[in-house]
Amino acid sequence: MFKDCFKYYKSKNPPPDLEKVRRINLEKTGNSASNFGLNPVKTWEVYELVDHPGLIFIKNPFTSIGQRYWVVRCLQDYSKRPNKTNLDALNLVPEGKEWWEVCQNNNNKILMNKLRWVTLGYHHDWESKVYAEENKGEFPKDLAELSRFIAESLNFLHFNAEAAIVNYYHMDSTLSGHTDHSEHNLKAPLISLSFGQTAIFLLGGKTKDDEPSAMFLRSGDIVVMSEESRLCYHGVPKILQMDSRFWNCFEENDFTNDCKNVVNICKEETLWKPFGDYLNNSRININVRQVLQRGQKRLCSESDEKT
Ligand SMILES: O=C(O)CCC(=O)C(=O)O
């Protein structure tokens, strides 16, 4: 095996496909881990589940301030219109106002607990489970870059974040077993980021008859579903309250980012407090997918199909 591989890369004619070479020195090219609130890639603890090939688990590679950054983005920013949320159908947020702002102004805990999901980029259609070109918003640049950085660090090259579901869980929330199969590109991995309270995550097989494995997803943990596990059943039967507050274990770091106001909130305890209070009883999961095939520019719209 080793010999064959050695020969492959040594060959002059034909030359090897250099895309296959794992880029370990990502810090030296463009974005560095610290731009995303991540610790250096070489310090990451990366595991692949023996019973579930393709299921990659990265044990919290985020710094505390990095965790805070993504939590603030999910609560304060990604929840804003025109992104879609489960609240749209309920008419609870007055026109021209935003959910987080309304909750903070009235200390409205009931409204705060009502946000269950936000969709970004190609919006997930909960009924048809079909993405459409006409049902698409802008995908946040910072989240797209973070996702690409994680994917490339694991040697999944050319990952484009085109759709995401942000799930907001409270202590009694669950997510039933399902597969994520709406994406045209099922070869690209699905990247899942967890913040806040701990989830029990179940990962099964291709059918509901296969017995699932249970694992904890704690704040900062990353799960990548690729290859064989990409189309496996998974769900969240329980959220557990944990004493540890991973987002408060401050270390010295030089976190900077284009979203200066968000970084400022993360560094200033009084500004961070409402976000920390939310997280004490909640979990946030960001689930990022690539929808299109490599080189594909758009989805066929219904009208294209009729012509
Ligand atoms: O919350 C999680 O960890 C899983 C979320 C999920 O499976 C989904 O959004 O499809």
Give the pairing of strands 282-289 and 163-170: antiparallel
Residue to mutate, 287, 288, 289, 291, ligand 1, most ligand atoms under 8 Å from C-beta: 287
Assigned domain for 47 exists: no
Question: Is the alpha carbon torsion for 192, 118, 265, 239 positive or negative?
Answer: negative
Assigned domain for 5 exists: no
∠ CA 201-207-211, nearest 5°, is 50
Q: Do residues 21 and 129 lie in contact, with contact meaning Cβ atoms separated by under 8 Å?
A: no
Assigned domain for 208 exists: yes
Q: Which domain holds residue 118?
A: 56-247+269-306
Q: Would you give per-residue pLDDT tens digits along the chain (307 residues)?
A: 566 767 777 788 888 777 655 444 444 446 788 889 999 999 999 999 999 999 999 999 999 999 999 999 999 999 999 999 999 999 999 999 999 999 999 889 999 999 999 999 999 999 999 999 999 999 999 999 999 999 999 999 999 999 999 999 999 999 999 999 999 999 999 999 999 999 999 999 999 999 999 999 999 999 999 999 999 999 999 999 987 788 887 776 678 888 899 999 999 999 999 999 999 999 999 999 999 999 999 998 665 545 4
Which atom of ligand 1 is nearest the CA belonging to 223?
3
* Strands laid side by side in the 198-203 sheet: 175-178, 234-240, 198-203, 213-217
Q: Which residues neighbour 305 within 8 Å (Cβ) at sequence distance 6 or greater?
A: none
Assigned domain for 225 exists: yes
Q: Which tens digits make up the pLDDT trace of 171-196?
A: 999 999 999 999 999 999 999 999 99
Distance 178 CA to ligand 1 centre (A): 9
Assigned domain for 127 exists: yes
Assigned domain for 31 exists: no
- What per-residue confidence (pLDDT) applies to 28? 42
Return d(Cα 185, Cα 289) in angstroms, integer: 9
CB atoms within 10 A of CB 166: 25
Residue to mutate, 86, 123, 192, ligand 1, most ligand atoms under 8 Å from C-beta: 192
Assigned domain for 10 exists: no
Which atom of ligand 1 is nearest the CA belonging to 165?
9
Residue 48, burial from CB neighbour count under 10 angstroms (0-12, 13-18, 19+): middle
- What per-residue confidence (pLDDT) applies to 35? 86
Q: Residues comprising the binding site?
A: 178, 180, 234
Distance 174 CA to ligand 1 centre (A): 10
**In this structure, what CATH number is given to the domain that contains residue 197?**
2.60.120.590
Residues having CB closer than 6 A to ligand 1 are 165, 167, 175, 180, 192, 194, 199, 201, 217, 234, 236, 285, 287
Q: Residues comprising the binding site for Fe cation?
A: 178, 180, 234
Q: Do residues 37 and 65 lie in contact, with contact meaning Cβ atoms separated by under 8 Å?
A: yes
User: Which long-range contacts link 298-306 to residues 24+ away (Cβ below 8 Å)?
Assistant: 298/133, 299/122, 299/131, 299/132, 299/133, 299/184, 300/133, 301/132, 301/133, 301/134, 302/132, 302/134
Assigned domain for 278 exists: yes
Q: Please tell me the residue having the least CA distance from ligand 1 atom 2.
A: 285
Task: Report the domain count for the chain.
Answer: 1
- What per-residue confidence (pLDDT) applies to 2? 65
